Amino acid sequence: MLVESLTLSAALFTIGVIGVLTRRNAIIVFMCVELMLNAVNLSFVALSKLYGATGQVFVIFVMTVAAAEAAVGLAIIIAIFRHKKSVNLQDINLLRG
Amino acid sequence: MSFDVSTPTGLLQALGPDLVLIVGAMVLMLVAAFRPESAGHQRRVGLMALGVLVATIATMSWYATNASSTTVHGIIAVDGFRWAVNLVFLVGAAATIALGIEANPRDRIVAAESHVLVLFATAGMMVLAAARDLMIVFLGVEMMSIAVYVLAGINRSSARSAEGALKYFLLGAFSTGFLLYGIALIYGATGSTHLGVIGERIGTFGLAGHGMLLVGVGLLLVGFAFKIAAVPFHMWAPDVYEGAPTPITAYMAAAVKAAAFAMFLRAWLEAFSLLDGSWLTPIWWLAAVTMVAGNAIALAQRNVKRMLAYSSIVHGGYLLVAVAAGTGLGSAAFLFYGIAYTLATFGAFAIVSVMAPTGSRGALIRDYEGLWTTRPWLAVGFAICMLALLGFPIFGGVGFFAKWYVLQAAITSPRELTPLAIVLVLTSVVSAGYYLHVVRVMFMKPRPEDADEPGPVYPLTQAVLVGSVALILLLGLFPNTLATWAKDNALGARPTAVTTNAP
């Protein structure tokens, strides 16, 4: 089971990374980031079967932090929507790298 | 006084300064929300935040002389390195709040909580500096980052600020994903999240070539490179630095970066020092590419804030050389550099916030032309900060010695870093192209007819400015005091554990 879980976790993580890199809607990008975090959670839970409770404790922390991050992130997305009337990353181009 | 970090009571005691700051920040958040928002209330909360920082610094100085740990594998480090790095964060936070109290009304920001958020971010950094367990590392990174995401977008009336905050948030959360997956893989390969235990197991079980571990450390390195904006993970930095209010930009350039470095240095030295066969080369290239590309792009900038953003990317590259050295001397060089760079950054940004009261206007290098003729002291202060960032001897004060110690750490390192040291010296010469350009423009060009008159320098900004310039010059005259302090507080200089008991 361990190998399968870790493989699934790696696959989900990769899907998340591809989503962040290719999607243009800020909210979908953020969803892909959450997918990455939850893929990691799956790894932690699977590994804790091998090594004990540390992995499960870590998952609780990750979920808490992800919730706090979501609160701040969605507020920032609302702030940008007020200025631009859009959450499309292609419309957000005042500043250039 | 000695703490047993393996018990809850001992852990709380060992976290004394952090708790003073966190509790102070929480109380202050209530105070900030208690009254309707107004400029006067914002100023009052800012002054109280400075008070909390002073209390934290006082507690920390007591701990720095008296505290030690009896636990071998405590999740919290009680060593000189932690207190020394904390000093960089706390001084940086105090300067940020001092600048913010006067810059916020100029930028038309009315948000008393902005000062409290700086305290929360600083608490996260202090946790990060103390972390000896990857779980605490993750918590510290997030406590720091979430507060800084908000700070980057604190100017709600500015579209640039919101845009910078969005970019910072999305890329920051993205990099957290990498950091976290790295931690999961390291946990999977070694069965522990504790840095010391990981280090031991890599040695005992011969895990140095373990694929999962190597990938994990690589992902950890990617997450870290995003936080310090090393090339090619730097795309967000110039936009965020330009969009954020100027004091927050200084805070991100100095303190956030120092926190990420403190975390990575500890992890690198305590846990992954046996992996240098496989991961030294990537760090080597990361440092080299960051120094070369950062300097090349900085040369093309016309906006002072963006120029300083690229300059901070480049300084991250210089510090990566100290990380690559992988010795206690490297961490001493980092401490010295941290102090010097923080002083020069806050001095420079204090002047930028005076010159550009409302965002982009007045922030171009063109706006600094002939500053010497109208505001000679501002020009002299900015010139000294630029020379300190360049590492110019004598006039650049402590900046010269900061680079000197990084070079020394690189050359004496057992890892043969002389080519990297040569890259550092050559790119420093290139960086004169933009640092000296600003100095030349200020002193040698006439003031244009239509140039705006820079705003007045209020007392707190003046204190930050005079304090940092004076310390740059003073520590430049007596670098040995600072160097001794840095060496005494380097990683491994004072052992973390005094007595031994089984983990």
Instruction: Pick A68's closest partner by Cβ from B146, B192, B242.
Output: B146
Peptide bond into B448 cis (omega under 30): no
Question: How do residues B5-50 score in pLDDT, each as one tens digit?
Answer: 778 888 888 888 999 999 999 999 999 998 888 888 999 999 999 9
How far apart (Å, rounded) are the C-alpha atoms in residues B85 and B69?
A: 18
Chain B residues with CB under 8 Å of A82 CB are 162
B191 touching chain A per CB within 8 A: yes
**Contact call for B177 and A17, based on CB within 8 A:** yes
Q: Mean pLDDT, to the nearest integer, of A55-65? A: 93
pLDDT for position A75: 93
The yes-or-no verdict on residue B303 having pLDDT over 80 is: yes
**Contact call for A40 and B238, based on CB within 8 A:** no
pLDDT for position B447: 82
Residue in A8, A31, A40, A82 to test binding to B, most B beta-carbons within 10 Å: A40
Structural tokens at position B174: 């993205």
pLDDT for position A93: 65
Residue B351 · residue B465 · CB < 8 Å: yes
Chain B residues with CB under 8 Å of A92 CB are 163, 166
Instruction: Pick B165's closest partner by Cβ from A50, A62, A76.
Output: A76
Domain parsing of chain A, residue ranges: 2-90
3-state secondary structure of B480: helix
The shortest C-alpha distance from B478 to chain A (Å) reads 40
Return the closest-CA partner of residue B216 out of B226, B206, B228, B208.
Answer: B208
Sequential DSSP letters for B159-221: HHHHHHHHHHHHHHHHHHHHHHHHHHHHHHHHS--BHHHHHHHHHHTT-TT-HHHHHHHHHHH
What is the CATH number that goes with domain A2-90?
A: 1.10.287.3510
**Contact call for B135 and A96, based on CB within 8 A:** no
For chain B, the farthest-separated pair of C-alpha atoms sits apart, in whole angstroms, at: 74
Question: How do residues B199-248 score in pLDDT, each as one tens digit?
Answer: 888 888 887 778 888 899 999 999 999 999 998 888 888 888 888 888 99
The shortest C-alpha distance from B146 to chain A (Å) reads 6
pLDDT for position B364: 82
The DSSP call for residue A94 is S
pLDDT for position B358: 59
pLDDT for position B231: 85
Structure confidence at residue B361 as a pLDDT band (50, 70, 90): low
Q: List helix spans (H) across B67-158.
A: 80-106, 113-130, 134-152
**Contact call for A33 and B156, based on CB within 8 A:** no
Chain A residues with CB under 8 Å of B173 CB are 30, 33, 69, 73
How far apart (Å, rounded) are the C-alpha atoms in residues B298 and B314?
A: 9
Structural tokens at position B453: 């008159």
Chain A residues with CB under 8 Å of B187 CB are 44, 47, 51, 54-55, 58
The yes-or-no verdict on residue A95 having pLDDT over 70 is: no
- Give kind and range of the element (H or E) at residue B421: helix B418-444
How far apart (Å, rounded) are the C-alpha atoms in residues B56 and B154?
A: 25
Lowest-pLDDT choice from B213-222, B335-344, B411-420, B458-467: B411-420
Q: Mean pLDDT, to the nearest integer, of B438-466? A: 85
pLDDT for position A97: 44
Q: Mean pLDDT, to the nearest integer, of B335-361? A: 84
**Contact call for A37 and B188, based on CB within 8 A:** no
Sequential DSSP letters for B277-333: HHHHHHHHHHHHHHHHHHHHHHHT--BHHHHHHHHHHHHHHHHHHHHHH-SHHHHHH
Residue holding tokens 């505290």? B67
**Contact call for A43 and B139, based on CB within 8 A:** no
Residue B348 · residue B308 · CB < 8 Å: yes
3-state secondary structure of B131: strand
The shortest C-alpha distance from B152 to chain A (Å) reads 10
Chain B residues with CB under 8 Å of A25 CB are none
Return the closest-CA partner of residue B343 out of B264, B291, B397, B306.
Answer: B397
pLDDT for position A96: 52
Instruction: Pick B166's closest partner by Cβ from A9, A65, A80.
Output: A80
Chain A residues with CB under 8 Å of B146 CB are 65, 68-69, 72
Structural tokens at position B267: 């992890």
How far apart (Å, rounded) are the C-alpha atoms in residues B371 and B367?
A: 8
**Contact call for A47 and B159, based on CB within 8 A:** no
**Which residue is closest to A84 within chain B, CA to CA?**
B159
The shortest C-alpha distance from A22 to chain B (Å) reads 13
Neighbours of B456 (CB within 10 A): 10
Question: How do residues B383-421 score in pLDDT, each as one tens digit?
Answer: 999 999 998 888 888 889 999 999 988 888 888 788 889
pLDDT for position B494: 47
Question: How do residues A50-59 score in pLDDT, each as one tens digit?
Answer: 888 888 999 9
**End-to-end distance of chain A based on CA atoms, in angstroms?**
44
Residues 6+ apart with CB under 8 A from B490: B80, B81, B328, B329, B331, B332, B335
pLDDT for position B78: 86
pLDDT for position B496: 41
User: Phi/psi class of residue B111: alpha, beta or left (left: φ > 0; alpha: ψ in -120 to 50)?
Assistant: beta
How far apart (Å, rounded) are the C-alpha atoms in residues B165 and B126?
A: 23
How far apart (Å, rounded) are the C-alpha atoms in residues B213 and B278?
A: 11
pLDDT for position B118: 95
What Å distances lie between residue B94 and B164, B358, B398, B413, CA to CA? 23, 22, 21, 35
The yes-or-no verdict on residue B359 having pLDDT over 70 is: no
- By the 10 Å C-beta count (0-12 exposed, 13-18 middle, 19+ buried), B366 is classed as middle
Q: Mean pLDDT, to the nearest integer, of B358-378? A: 78
* Chain centroid offset of residue B353 CA: 19
